[in-house]
Amino acid sequence: MNQNQTIMNEKNESLAIELSSLDRRHLLHPSTNPKLQAETGPKLIFTGAEGIYLHDMSGQKYIDGVSMLWNVNLGHGNKELAKAAYDQMVNVAYASSFYGYANEPTVRLAEKIASLTPGDLNTVFFTSGGSESNDTAFKLSRFYWQLQGYTEKRTIISLKRGYHGVTVSAQRATGIEVYREFSGSTDPDIVNAKAHLTECELGDRSHPEYEGCIRSIIEKLGKDKIAAVIVEPIQGAGGVHIPPEGYLQAVRKLCDEFNIHLIADEVICGFGRTGKMFGVDHWDVVPDFMSIAKGITSGYIQLGGVVMREKIRDAFTSYDGMLAHGFTYSGHPAACAVGLKNIEILERDGLIEKARKLGEQLEKGLLYLEDKYEFVSGSRVKGLLAGFDLMKDSDKNIPFEESVKASVSVVDEAYQRGLLIRPFDFEPGMNIVAIAPPFITADNELERIINIVDDSLAAFSRKFM
Ligand code: PLP
């Protein structure tokens, strides 16, 4: 090491110590153990990012194996997205969409989204993220029914293990207890189905979980009390769960039968993550509302939205009063300019097809790991959204003891080998690992990700099996 490098390393080290101490004192982190954070400071302080890699203060390089929060779909350091934001910021950085004001990128992005979404999902209400989108969808659904004279159609039904965000209604719709119960916040008009993506909606009423299914909830509460059902086409934070064939179509049919809206939460799936533009496109289902966020800008800037069908838009445009809903950043011009550029790149570079093909490679890799390790099972992949289970004995359905912390341990092994992936263990016996790299991942980089997961599983096996 030469003298300059030594000086740089010392500078970095003292900056890391300073930032860590400031972080511990002044920053409360989301979805983080606050006690641990205050004691130990940040795990990683990122200083640079390029492609699928992130660099930390010590110069260590990490592969972003989950696109951070499944959102950095174009990978890091994309200068075209940065330039789109810059160009718009020096033109009109911010303009409100309240009171009928408009600006070009917002209007153009709304039109572009309408051209991509299935069926007659043709009108967008912009938000700043996924939670706001879901709360907005709930409110717009309820408002629609009020306009139709159904004053009691207010209840939203959501699924076990669905994740819909952390604003109060989105939190209560979330079927993951630790989020749903946090702070005791409540929304009495949200009911969480006890059933997961089981086949009971497909007509099997003898299924033991039937009592917790959407249909049984509708029958119990009465259809005139229910505004909407919300589902993720593929559940993400619940542990990457792909519904059985026919499930989404069955939920669509159920909603039609009982005159209830279907809200598809496409916050993770939307804009190509699953190898098609939207998750619902795998099953040719047209929801009444679609919540979008994350992938719309590849996470470069905050943006979300709710896309609605024409019948719903027509009801709103016949209402001669104020639509008393909106966020300061609804239709943020710079965010919308980035959204437009992001979609342009996805289409120009064929990245959604690339995500689909990479998914096939990832699927082969995970099946190979399932074959190799007895404690790996249930691998599931759609495009670049993937997960697998860790079970002490998957044939007999025996989970690892809680003390093993299986998914956290495997993810930690991967971290030590320079790969960031995510563990899910929020239910007793649940140990799921999620992988969702950026769409720009090269074939050999995906191979490297699979190899690191392989090495991490081998290390875990040596310790615990
Ligand atoms: N919906 C889904 C499916 C999500 O995965 C998330 C976030 O992970 C949200 C909603 C909430 O989005 P946000 O964190 O942008 O509010």
Rounded distance, CA 433 to CA 232, Å?
A: 19
Which ipTM score applies to this complex? Answer: 0.99
Rounded distance, CA 364 to CA 165, Å?
A: 32
Atom of ligand 1 nearest to the CA of 269: 3
Distance of CA 184 from the midpoint of ligand 1 (Å): 20
User: Residue 304 corresponds to which tokens in the numbers above?
Assistant: 């979300």
* Closest C-alpha residue for ligand 1 atom 1: 164
Q: Which of 164, 171, 230, 280 to mutate to test the pocket of ligand 1 (most atoms within 8 A of CB)?
A: 164
Distance of CA 97 from the midpoint of ligand 1 (Å): 23
Distance of CA 291 from the midpoint of ligand 1 (Å): 9
Distance of CA 180 from the midpoint of ligand 1 (Å): 13
Cα angle: 278, vertex 433, 266; to 5 degrees: 15
Rounded distance, CA 376 to CA 369, Å?
A: 7
Distance of CA 209 from the midpoint of ligand 1 (Å): 27
| Contact between residue 362 and residue 384 where contact means Cβ atoms under 8 Å apart | yes
Question: Would you state the pLDDT for residue 1?
Answer: 66
* Closest C-alpha residue for ligand 1 atom 7: 165
Distance of CA 237 from the midpoint of ligand 1 (Å): 9
Distance of CA 13 from the midpoint of ligand 1 (Å): 35
**pLDDT by residue, tens only, the chain of 465 residues:** 677 777 767 888 899 999 999 999 999 999 999 999 999 999 999 999 999 999 999 889 999 999 999 999 999 999 999 999 999 999 999 999 999 999 999 999 999 999 999 999 999 999 999 999 999 999 999 999 999 999 999 999 999 999 999 999 999 999 999 999 999 999 999 999 988 777 788 877 777 777 789 999 999 999 999 999 999 999 999 999 999 999 999 999 999 999 999 999 999 999 999 999 999 999 999 999 999 999 999 999 999 999 999 999 999 999 999 999 999 999 999 999 999 999 999 999 999 999 999 999 999 999 999 999 999 999 999 999 999 999 999 889 999 999 999 999 999 999 999 999 999 999 999 999 999 999 999 999 999 999 999 999 999 999 998
* Closest C-alpha residue for ligand 1 atom 5: 268
Question: Would you state the pLDDT for residue 293?
Answer: 98
Residues ≥6 apart with Cβ < 8 Å to 372: 454, 457
Q: Which of 66, 67, 131, 291 to mutate to test the pocket of ligand 1 (most atoms within 8 A of CB)?
A: 131
Q: Which of 294, 329, 385 to mutate to test the pocket of ligand 1 (most atoms within 8 A of CB)?
A: 294
Distance of CA 73 from the midpoint of ligand 1 (Å): 15
The 3-state DSSP class for residue 313 equals: helix
Burial class of residue 269 in the structure, from the number of CB atoms within 10 Å of its CB (0-12 exposed, 13-18 middle, 19+ buried): buried
The 3-state DSSP class for residue 209 equals: coil
Tokens 């409540």 — which residue?
A: 186
Spell out which residues line ligand 1, taking CB within 6 angstroms.
69, 129-131, 134, 163-165, 232, 236-237, 265, 267-268, 293
Q: Which helix (H) or strand (E) holds 424?
A: strand 422-424
Distance of CA 165 from the midpoint of ligand 1 (Å): 5
| Contact between residue 249 and residue 225 where contact means Cβ atoms under 8 Å apart | no
| φ, ψ of residue 56 in degrees (nearest 5) | -110, 180
Atom of ligand 1 nearest to the CA of 131: 16
Q: Rounded to 10 degrees, what is the CA torsion of 281, 129, 66, 286? A: -10
| Contact between residue 154 and residue 139 where contact means Cβ atoms under 8 Å apart | no
Question: Would you state the pLDDT for residue 199?
Answer: 73
Extended strands (E) in 7-109: 46-50, 53-56, 61-64
Atom of ligand 1 nearest to the CA of 302: 15
Question: Would you state the pLDDT for residue 71?
Answer: 98
Atom of ligand 1 nearest to the CA of 294: 15
| Contact between residue 50 and residue 72 where contact means Cβ atoms under 8 Å apart | no
Q: Which of 126, 179, 266, 268 to mutate to test the pocket of ligand 1 (most atoms within 8 A of CB)?
A: 268
